[in-house]
Amino acid sequence: MTISLKSAADIDGMRLAGRLASEVLDMLTPHIVPGVTTLHLDKLAHDHMVNVQGGIPATLGYQPPGYTAYPASLCASVNHQVCHGIPNDRPLKNGDIVNIDVTVIKDGWHGDTSRMFVVGEGSIQAKRLCHITYEAMWKGIVKVKPGVRLGDIGHAIQMFAESAGYSVVREFCGHGIGRKFHEEPQVLHYGRPGTLEELVPGMIFTIEPMVNAGRRDIREMGDGWTIVTKDRSLSAQWEHTVLVTETGYEVLTMSAGYPPLPAFVQPAAALATS
């Protein structure tokens, strides 16, 4: 396995791409209301990435081996959709939950992030799932520092989510990122402490747990992209792009409109520059 370590100049490029990706979600936030379509959100995001940010939507036309080309500039996964939901013309309803996943390419670097949104007035159960998944992601992030192993991150996420009564999807994981959309290493959201690759400064990867209200089993829809829960239970996901620094971590996908950090996260650590 070859894991690329980023230089100071590389990291500056990743910081910019990451901030821009987060700012796309900031821009979309007031538009995510009952009646809006995810296709409209996709158009807003595309126009902003291309015309305002001077970037490229990484997902548009993305075609890994064995897949058809992805047709949109973001992923929009609603309710029991786990990930890779393709934007469509169905209006969002009051109480829906939706994950919006955005990756911006800027000057050749990829910034990748996603957030959960509750449309209108969500149920207590739906809000709790989104909240626990958010905290599960951060439970993994705060583990990041040199000498830690990837299994430590996955274990922290899994234990937190399962102790809240939820299940963690295992077929999809975080990934290294840089000039390529997906690089080594794979970042599992479950696992055993002290296993897998050791973290060293300069590594950049995503942490993006997918947490289901029901069982962890999933299936692929006929479009070849959209993944759903087999039992049709709600699913939530949050994602950040994270840098391993000399002393800990830096989250690269932060912006002015980002949601408040969990109480157990030290803001200085999340935003500190290396």
pTM: 0.95
* β-strand partners of 174: 187
Between 272 and 63, the higher pLDDT residue: 63
Domain-located, residue 135: yes
Residue at 183 is within a domain? yes
CB of 253 closer than 8 Å to CB of 19: yes
Q: Domain range holding 153?
A: 8-255
Q: Phi/psi zone of residue 13: left (φ > 0), alpha (ψ -120 to 50 degrees), beta?
A: alpha
Contact 193/149 with Cβ under 8 angstroms? yes
Domain containing residue 196: CATH number: 3.90.230.10
Q: How confident is the model at residue 273 (pLDDT cuts 50, 70, 90)?
A: very low
68 within domain boundaries: yes
Q: List, for residues 13-58, the tens digit of each pLDDT value.
A: 999 999 999 999 999 999 999 999 999 999 999 999 999 999 999 9
- Range 238-265 burial, b when 16+ CB lie within 10 A, else e: bbbbbbbbeebbbbbbbbeebeebeeeb
In this predicted structure, what is the pLDDT of residue 218? 97
What band does 266 get if pLDDT is binned at 50, 70 and 90? Answer: confident
Answer whether residue 213 is part of any domain.
yes
Is residue 196 scored above 90 in pLDDT?
yes
102-111 residue pLDDT tens: 999 999 999 9
Instruction: Give the mean pLDDT of 148-172.
Output: 98
**In this structure, is residue 40 part of a structural domain?**
yes
- Report yes or no on 272 lying in a domain: no
User: What is the count of structural domains for the chain?
Assistant: 1
